[in-house]
Amino acid sequence: MGTQVGIVGAGSWGIALAHVLSGNGHDVTVWSRSEDSVSKLRAYRGNEEKLPGIKLPESVKFTSDMEETVKDKDIIVVVVPSAHMRETIKRMKPFINESEEHKQIIVNCSKGIEEESLMVMSDVILDELPGCHVCVLSGPSHAEEVGKSMPTTIVVGAFDKDIAKYVQNIFMNDYFRVYISPDMLGIEIGAALKNVVALAAGIADGFGCGDNAKAALITRGITEISRLGMAMGGKFETFAGLSGIGDLIVTCASMHSRNRRAGILIGQGKTYQEAMDEVKMVVEGVYSAKAALKLAEKYDVEMPIIKAVNDILFSGKSLQEAVKDLMLRDKKIENNNLEW
């Protein structure tokens, strides 16, 4: 049997990664919060509601027992909504092996920023489990396609190159290509903020702004993300890569994107809560929007698209007014690094 893997979270991405890892020959255990959901997972061999048609092999185990999921596992893959990350890590903590000889690797696959602390998810994990081996997996990777073994390319970020290579080897196969990077912070900022820009892109679609506006939002969106990310210590190359512009393109353009789908509904006049209820999934961009604006203020970075999304979601600003304000901002140079 291959590597012992515990997957904490049985949503669409958790099931898709269980498909990848079990197909790679690893011993996979998937945790879900309630025994009722575990019964459904066992009966269907997957998540019928969120990832219909994807059936996992009998070798994959489902459980609501956190100890069974994480104790003595080589790798623990955490795939829970960002708002529940800290609470989930606290539940895992009693069963984590902290000895240097058998230290487990925790792979964060959640995309978001904790609203109160403004921490990215790997920092939340380190805050609860100081000194643990943590890394992040991110990139343009809709679960609906990964679950069908469609070609996908992502990046693993880690402080330690050997850990990054180890995780790369665990996940990589002929349809799931994995690159590695030392820029964990940049990867996580790109992953969290692209959801907010995707909301904006969806709102523009729902409002009928057209393809020109969509292209502008994607292009200026990555500018805002990289501007903040670099101010926080991330690297420009990361924002030009898979977890930056790559993830942003797929999240803004695809109907698999829950953030875009929720944005379309908001653009058609629904509130963000009504949109989330209709999408029936956690829309991370709604939770990351406030945190992103707080980070912009903290680092004194101009982020007009992020501000517009916050104004629409939480301040009752009309879509017409938000679009007009974005279009009539002060005249700017596109790139201040270019000289005449």
What is the C-alpha separation between 61 and 214, in angstroms, rounded?
42
Which one of the listed residues 61, 194, 214, 307 is annotated catalytic?
Answer: 194
Q: Is 194 part of the annotated catalytic residue set? A: yes
Buried/exposed 204-243: b ≥16 CB within 10 Å, e otherwise: bbbbebeeebbebbbebbbbbbbbbbbebebbeebbebbb
210: left (phi over 0), alpha (psi -120 to 50) or beta: left
Place of tokens 């790997």: 122
- What are the backbone angles phi and psi of residue 102, rounded to the nearest 5°? -125, 35
Q: Sheet harboring 61-63: ordered strands across? A: 61-63, 27-31, 4-8, 75-78, 105-108, 133-138, 152-158, 176-181
What is the helix, strand, coil percentage profile of the chain, to 5?
55, 10, 35
Helix (H, G, I), strand (E, B) or coil at 326: helix
Q: Which of 18, 6, 104, 103 is nearest to 64 (CA)?
A: 6
CA 18 to chain centre: 17
**DSSP β-bridge partners for residue 179:** 155
| Residue 19, both tokens | 């498909």
- Which residues are identified as catalytic? 194
